[in-house]
Amino acid sequence: MVKQIRFGWLSLVLILTMVSTPWTLNAASPQKPAIVLAAFGTSTTAFDTYQHFEQQVKKRFPDHEIRWAFTSHKVRHKVAREKGKKLNDLGTTLRELKAAGYTRVAIQSLHIVPGEEWDKKIVQVSREISGLKVALGKPLLSSKKDQEAVLKVVAQTFPKDLKNTVVVLMAHGSPVPEGEKAYLAFDRLLRTHYQNVFLGTVEGKPTKEEHLAQALESF
């Protein structure tokens, strides 16, 4: 008798990126470091999840200015064209903070891995604004400790019956070796703890096709 397989397609971006309306500004003192949340961005209804993330940051740092930056040019252009809302890139946000009198900024990346967006649109751009002392918070899966913490959270969404259920977590993928390395490491961590849980990417490795084939072979 053939067992029935149910494939749960979960999105890492939607699960792990729980984030406010990015154009909301606070009246915090320039004497304290401003916090910039830097995300890839989206033009879909998933954009609403940013509000929850900002609320959590405000609870943790109530006296700090919270700003947003979005690294995807396509997303910024599409949101402006379709919704009439202006989204800043990181350089624009940092220049606005400097003009407002801020001298210290903490930039927290909301990207999944340290890939191309991290290297070119956060690390490099953060060095271009003179007169600002900048601290960078790395992407979600940057270290083994981070990956283990993420797994504990994501595992709470897994179905209880993993003997007859395959779960495939989907990510965008990265063309940068460091980013791909992080995805592969997280995939190995998943496979160490869960036989039927896989990580697939739209682009690059690990591929969703490879893991789906492995999942089918296990039944």
Average confidence score pLDDT of the chain? 84
What CA–CA distance (Å, rounded) separates 96 from 112?
26
Sheet holding 34-39, edge to edge: 66-70, 34-39, 104-109, 133-137
Instruction: Please indicate, yes or no, whether residues 151 and 89 belong to a single structural domain of this protein.
Output: no
Res 7 pLDDT > 70: no
Q: Which of 109, 128, 157 is the last residue of a domain?
A: 109
Instruction: Please indicate, yes or no, whether residues 163 and 105 belong to a single structural domain of this protein.
Output: no
Number of domains in the chain: 2
Instruction: pLDDT band for 28, please (50, 70, 90 cuts).
Output: low
Residue 4: what pLDDT? 39
Res 129 pLDDT > 50: yes
What CA–CA distance (Å, rounded) separates 173 from 201?
5
Residue 11: what pLDDT? 38
Residue 196: what pLDDT? 85
Instruction: pLDDT band for 217, please (50, 70, 90 cuts).
Output: low
* Other residues' Cβ atoms within 10 Å of the Cβ of residue 102: 22
Instruction: Please indicate, yes or no, whether residues 41 and 93 belong to a single structural domain of this protein.
Output: yes
In a domain, residue 85? The reply is: yes
Instruction: Please indicate, yes or no, whether residues 151 and 101 belong to a single structural domain of this protein.
Output: no
In a domain, residue 159? The reply is: yes
**For residue 176, what is the domain's CATH number?**
3.40.50.1400
Q: Which of 109, 134, 154 is the last residue of a domain?
A: 109
Residues 149-206 have pLDDT tens digits of 999 999 999 998 888 888 888 888 888 889 999 999 999 999 899 988 888 888 888 8
Alpha helix ranges (H) inside the chain? 12-16, 49-60, 73-83, 90-99, 116-118, 124-126, 144-154, 177-193, 208-217
- Residues 117-123, mean pLDDT to the nearest whole number: 95
In a domain, residue 132? The reply is: no
Residue 67: what pLDDT? 97
Instruction: Please indicate, yes or no, whether residues 95 and 146 belong to a single structural domain of this protein.
Output: no
In a domain, residue 121? The reply is: no
In a domain, residue 124? The reply is: no
In a domain, residue 125? The reply is: no
Q: Which of 109, 132, 163 is the last residue of a domain?
A: 109
Domain of residue 195 covers: 6-13+142-217
Instruction: Please indicate, yes or no, whether residues 159 and 89 belong to a single structural domain of this protein.
Output: no
Instruction: Please indicate, yes or no, whether residues 104 and 147 belong to a single structural domain of this protein.
Output: no
Q: Both tokens of residue 73?
A: 């040019």
Helix (H, G, I), strand (E, B) or coil at 102: coil
Instruction: Please indicate, yes or no, whether residues 168 and 89 belong to a single structural domain of this protein.
Output: no
Residue 24: what pLDDT? 43
